[in-house]
A and B are shown apart, each in its own frame.
Chain A
Amino acid sequence: MIHFDNVTKVYTTQKRPALDSVSIDVDKGEFVFLVGPSGSGKSTFLRLVLKEEKPSKGRVHVAGKDLARLSNWKVPHLRRRIGCVFQDFRLLPNKNVFENVAFALEVIGKPRRFIRKVVPEVVELVGLEGKADRMPEELSGGEQQRVAIARAFVNRPQILLADEPTGNIDPATSIGIMKVLDRINRTGTTVVMATHDAAIVDSMRKRVIELEEGVVVRDQTRGVYGQAY
């Protein structure tokens, strides 16, 4: 599903590569934690998957497509197959829960009937049934992140990228968020989650890829966060 082949990324403003000859394979339906300190290259990895950045060297394949050969005007179609969740939720403050989720479908031109049918299903899937007409400011952080997940998942992407989704949320609520992500993963969606949260990684027992200074230092199925190595 995601295939990095000797990928190096050097930002023009920096000398040290953000990613240095990284080769990673993520299969369809996998759940992968991307761990490592700040500046280790986790975000760069996610940006490369979205083709927000181009690799300096090496090849990136996503959902069977070689991104180097994907023309710019086709990038939006790639992004429709990838859902994104961020630490800061990125909800539209002037739209309610339903509208925030529906926005993702509206802007790719889905018909209104389809939106009316699909959005409530996803709102229920993330555990927000009955709260569709709430405004984001009326929701807790955990609930806001659920809305963001619903928006990322409503178009049924093949891949869900989560960049520290529990970074702004207390540990108890984080467990609920992880359950939602796990539920989404069980529908066959590949989930890649960058995180600092050791407790969550340890409790989930999923594949862990650890980056340090742009290099993969560990790739473990059923791993934990801070294992002694």
Chain B
Amino acid sequence: MRAQFVLSEMWIGLRRNLTMTIAVIVTVAISLALFGSGLLVQQQVSHMRQFWDERVSVTVYMCTEVSPSQVCQDSGPATKEDREAIQADLEALPEVSNVEYVTAAEAWQEFQDRFSENQALTEAAQEGDIPDNFRVQLADPNNFESVVQTVQGRPGVDSVHNDQQVLDQFFELLDGLKWAALVVSFVQLAAAALLIGNTIRLSAYSRRRETGIMRLVGASNFYIQLPFLLEGAISGLIGGVIASGFIVAARYLLLDRIQSWFAFDVSLGAGALAYVIGLSMVLGILLCTVSSFLTLRRYLRV
């Protein structure tokens, strides 16, 4: 009896303000989709950071006869002494966890293996294009400064290449995207809250006769407010469901496209997706219910 009554009152409320209800649902859906996308990007970034932190290294390229840089022109190709001195100095650094010397032949072999399916690339390059180099693994990838300082400009060193710098640029872009999405989503969520407030106010006004009688015959406050709260919650739920669709689309269309720039698979699992969707839905329903409740406290005198 109770449930049937409350549900039918809720349904009447939703139908009577159909245009406002639609406006609420659309606003909630957009704001939650943005919020969810922001969360998704954040998850993706932390996931990728973890993945890359284990793999990034600083590569120190040595001079060859054909190196064009000024240092190499001045000092000529790296000698055995240069090489040994650099290796010793690198290994002495506390930040460095591992130093590996890769000859031009080994580097060429590795290059061919990695891009074996891309024939144009392997044909365009030849052995010796990648010079002898040191691959330096760091304990913490952020502490690359000392490595750079140790070797930069020394005789025999052509250039120092830091993976982290390349990644940082990429992560900065993603971070920017994330914050943009989150900021816009919060503005939208605020708009959604106001819109819900207005909708519930209209609903309360159009049903003031009923609620007035309910008050007089002693219906409890909760019972009077419940249909309105459910009205808000349902709008939030429908908005959340639509937003979930957008979030799933963002995951597969946007993030997976970014993934394809890398040679490695670091895509997010279903768990992370479910987490983001769940959080967005809960936020949507809570937001709608709370703003309904706050509106009712002002417009439904008990």
Contact = CB atoms under 8 A, between A and B. Distances in A.
Nearest to A90: B213
Residue of B214, B217, B219, B224 ringed by the most chain A CB atoms within 10 A: B217
B223 A104 contact: no
Interface string B211-239: 01111111111011000000000000000
B2 interface: yes
B1 A151 contact: no
B213 A103 contact: yes
A92 B210 CA distance: 7
Contacts of B218: 76-82, 108, 155
Interface string B279-302: 000000000000000000000001
28 contacts: A73-B220, A73-B221, A76-B219, A76-B220, A77-B218, A78-B218, A80-B218, A81-B218, A82-B218, A90-B213, A92-B210, A92-B213, A103-B210, A103-B213, A104-B217, A106-B1, A107-B213, A107-B217, A108-B219, A108-B220, A108-B223, A109-B1, A110-B1, A111-B1, A112-B1, A151-B213, A155-B217, A155-B218
A141 to B, nearest CB: 18
Contacts of A82: 218
A84 interface: yes
B2 to A, nearest CB: 5
B209 interface: yes
Nearest to A72: B302
Interface residues of B, number: 18
Nearest to B213: A90
Given A109-B1, A109-B2, 7 more contacts: A76-B215, A76-B220, A84-B217, A107-B5, A111-B1, A151-B213, A152-B217
A175 to B, nearest CB: 26
Contact of A151 (B215, B217, B223): B217
Nearest to B301: A52
B1 A90 contact: no
Contacts of A92: 209-210, 213
Interface in A40-57: 50
Interface of A: 50, 72-73, 75-84, 90, 92, 103-104, 106-112, 151-152, 155
Nearest to A93: B209
A106 B213 contact: no
A83 B216 CA distance: 8
B223 A109 contact: yes
Candidate in B216, B219, B221, B302 with the most chain A CB atoms within 10 angstroms: B216
Given A108-B219, A155-B217, A90 B212 contact: yes
Interface string B106-131: 00000000000000000000000000
Contacts of A109: 1-2, 223
B189 to A, nearest CB: 31
A224 to B, nearest CB: 31
Nearest to B211: A107
Interface string B192-222: 0000000000000000011011111111110
Contacts of B223: 107-109
Contacts of A110: 1
B256 to A, nearest CB: 52
A142 to B, nearest CB: 20
Contacts of B215: 76, 79
B90 to A, nearest CB: 73
A84 B216 contact: yes
A150 to B, nearest CB: 12
A111 B215 CA distance: 19
A80 B215 CA distance: 10
A90 B221 CA distance: 20
